[in-house]
């Protein structure tokens, strides 16, 4: 089983690269039993989506100018 530290590293890495099937399964299992890591994962996902929306908004403003 992965530690919370390992899961944290993999959660960050998953936004930069594809995780292997083994890594995805281990993260999934850990997230099922660890509420703290689920919370961190949700926060990372929220921040990533917020930054994408912000980037898209800036691009649409540039296109209108």
pLDDT tens per residue across span 45-62: 899 899 999 999 998 888
Does the pLDDT of residue 65 top 80, yes or no?
A: no
How many CA atoms, within 13 angstroms, populate the side-chain half-sphere of residue 25?
3
Written as one string, the DSSP assignment of 2-57 is --HHHHHHHHHHTTTSPPPHHHHHHHHHHHHH-HHHHHHHHHHHHHHHHHHHHHHH
**Are 2 and 26 within 8 A, CB to CB?**
yes
Confidence of residue 3 (pLDDT cuts 50, 70, 90): very high
pTM: 0.74
Rounded Cα gap, residues 31 and 9, in angstroms: 13
């Amino acid at each position: 089983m992965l530690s919370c530290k390992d899961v944290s590293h993999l959660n960050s890495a998953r936004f930069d690269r594809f995780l292997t099937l083994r890594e995805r399964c281990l993260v999934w299992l850990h997230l099922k039993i660890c509420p703290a890591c689920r919370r961190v994962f949700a926060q990372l996902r929220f921040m990533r989506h917020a930054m994408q929306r912000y980037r898209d908004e800036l691009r649409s403003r540039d296109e209108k100018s």
